[in-house]
Structure 1
Amino acid sequence: MKIDRILGIIIYLLNHDRVSAKTLAEKYHVSVRTIQRDMVNIASSGIPIYSDSGKNGGYSILPTYKLKNTNIKSDEQQMIIKALESLSTSYTNHTLDSIIEKYNSIIGKEGGQRIFWDFGVTKENQQVQNVNKILEPAIAEKKYISFHYRNAGGKESDLTVEPLAIHYKWYAWYLFAYNDEKKQYYTYKVARMRDVEMLNRKSIIDHGDIESHMKESEQNYYKTCINIEVHFKERESSLIQEYFPDCQIEKVKDGMCRIFIGVPAKERLWKALLLSFGDHVKVVAPEEYKKELIDIAEKFLSNYDS
């Protein structure tokens, strides 16, 4: 519908600095001419639309403009508040609690709750939550931090870095930071950080778009991943697909199937997950990874009288 498209365009423009008519046309599956007419309608409704011509031109909305809450549908408001409440089950933050309190006071309660989320099982221990409470103001005030760190391989070091962002992925919290000494960006697992202290030293470095640095760092990390070939009986396909939904299952022969899993070489989580399948799966390659799993299984059994 036209009204839904126009509202979608407004929200999209509010979240982006400058967007070309071609980009909007492709996103909403209409012609450039239709987008141009939509812009006229949006501007006539009182929303401050700006148009820049040229190679890098496009449409934008005055940065100080704010979309009123009444423009968000009731079911969308309910979805927002449930997402916030669910996030609070895995992340301790007083600001988040305050947002939920304020948002609950302005949205309608009609219709009843239809979607329930609970991320409580992903909530990390109090030590991680306490570290996050130090990292947040340090990031906001552009202050350096010092901490003791033990990586996945067991190597320990004392570090001083500029914290830039914390993010949640792979069921854990991570710190994205800049190391002055090495002139590089690094990602640290918060659970492995100890003795974290915010320093009086303040950063004067302009890092630009932090998100782009994070994406670049993540891509470089993925280049270090290895591909593991795993074989299993065809009847186990549904279980394998549940745990590895993005991996393509291939039929091999004699009722057997296989998948290829790209995993970080040093992370223990993947080794534990594969071992948890017992005799339902067989790691075929690479040979080094297979031998490592066998070694881990033998050491585990050595603790028992078997």
Structure 2
Amino acid sequence: MKKIERLISIVMILLQKKVVSASEFSRLFHVTKRTIQRDMETLNYANIPIYAEHGTNGGYALMEEYKFDKRLLNHKDIENILVALGGFEGLITNQDIKTTIQKIKGMTSLDISPILDVTFYDWPGRSQINEEILFIRQAIEKNWLLTFEYVDQIGNKTDRLVEPYKLHFRELHWYLFGYSIEREDYRTFKLTRILNIQKGGFFVPRTDQEFQHKKQSNEQKKGVNVHLSIDAAVRDQFIERYGKEAVTKESTGNYLATIELPENQYAYQFLAGFGNKVKIIKPESFIAKYVIFLEEAVKLYK
């Protein structure tokens, strides 16, 4: 463990405990008591008010005035923050997030174990996506231009030069929102289609990027109302995704679901994943496009 990491950990521990002995710190970090003493001196030089308490139960303590004012956030507030951070940590393996979680826990002396737990499937490609996310995040913070090859839905590659502005997680996929120099407009890029991403210089951020991101997000939400006959076996999945009001029971024993879907490959793939448990009732135009999608898939096996 590096010294800076040890110093941060010492402060986090003292935020949670009243007094910690030098021996306890020494065992925890596998260093000598003299090293712990030097660490305390370093923290004092940094204006962190740590003092020594003498006696049988003595050790190091942090002045109460320095600790977090518990009137600002109550126990439930801190628990909610930990749930949110824990869920985000499930998406990105990031030391910064782990450190933040420890800081938040240090805001209270209570042992917080959130009653809500968010878990994401740890798919094999997650580690590679994490590396790309960390690189893109650094590019956004430092205003780096990004160069990469982008693969479209049918496999065509194009070279892109992009000003990165936001990373967005939607429908179990990560996206990069940025300004495409070639297209002279804002674009959203799916991370799994980005190849050979590299730093390509610097840029001055555009003032309208926040507005354009909201505009593009709203446009992506637009779709058509699709009426489906769904089997009872998949009812729960539709309720979780679209709400109880979107699903009603029919006299046949099946269920009717009315949902909004975009007319694109993602929607067709989503419905195809239910196999014969879902049938589209209307609109006819959506059915026609979906049938073409299925026929193209069947051709692969002929």
Alignment-derived partner of residue 147 in structure 1: 148
Higher alpha-carbon Rg: 2
2:82–2:114: 8 Å Cα contact kept in structure 1? no
Partner deviation per Cα, 1:223-272 (whole Å, 9 max, x = no partner) = 4x44433223578644532343277235676555433333333343x334
TM-score by length of 2: 0.65
Summarize the Cα distance change of 1:298–1:144 in structure 2 as closer, same or farther, 3 Å threshold: same
Given that residues 228 and 260 in structure 1 are in contact (C-alpha distance below 8 angstroms), is that contact kept between their aligned partners in structure 2?
yes
2:87 matched residue in structure 1: 86
Counterpart position of 1:220: 219
Aligned to 2:40: none
Q: Write out the 4+ residue segments of structure 1 that deviate beyond 6 Å after TM superposition.
A: none
Letter in 1 for 2:170: K
Whole-angstrom distance in 1 between the partners of 2:143 and 2:89: 25
* 1:153/1:261 CA distance change after superposition, 3 Å: farther
Structure 2 Cα separation of the partners of residues 253 and 82 of structure 1? 41
1:282 and 2:283 equivalent?
no
- Structural RMSD (CA): 3.0
Answer yes or no: is the 8 Å Cα contact 2:161–2:200 preserved in 1.
no
1:189: which partner in 2? 190
Once the two structures are superposed, the pairs formed by residues 255-266 of structure 1 within 5 Å of their partners are 257-266=255-264
Distance 2:297 2:200 in 1: 44
Aligned-residue offset at 1:126: 2.0
Deviation at 1:171, TM superposition (A): 1.0
The unaligned stretches of length 5 or more in structure 2 are 1-67
Match in the other structure for 2:33 = none
Is the aligned partner of 1:168 residue 2:166?
A: no
Q: Which residue of 2 aligns with 1:52?
A: none
For these two proteins, the number of residue pairs brought into alignment is 231
Give the Cα separation in 2 of the matches to 1:214 and 1:72: 32
Residue ranges of structure 1 left out of the alignment (5+ in a row): 1-66
* Contact 1:138–1:144 under 8 Å retained in 2: yes
Is the 2:180–2:187 Cα contact (8 Å) retained in structure 1?
A: yes
Choose from 232, 245, 265 the match for 2:243.
245
Q: TM-score, normalised by structure 1?
A: 0.65
For the pair 1:117 / 2:117, whether they are aligned, the reply is: yes
- Structure 2 partner of 1:12: none
Aligned in 2, Cα 1:139/1:114: closer, same or farther, shift over 3 Å? closer
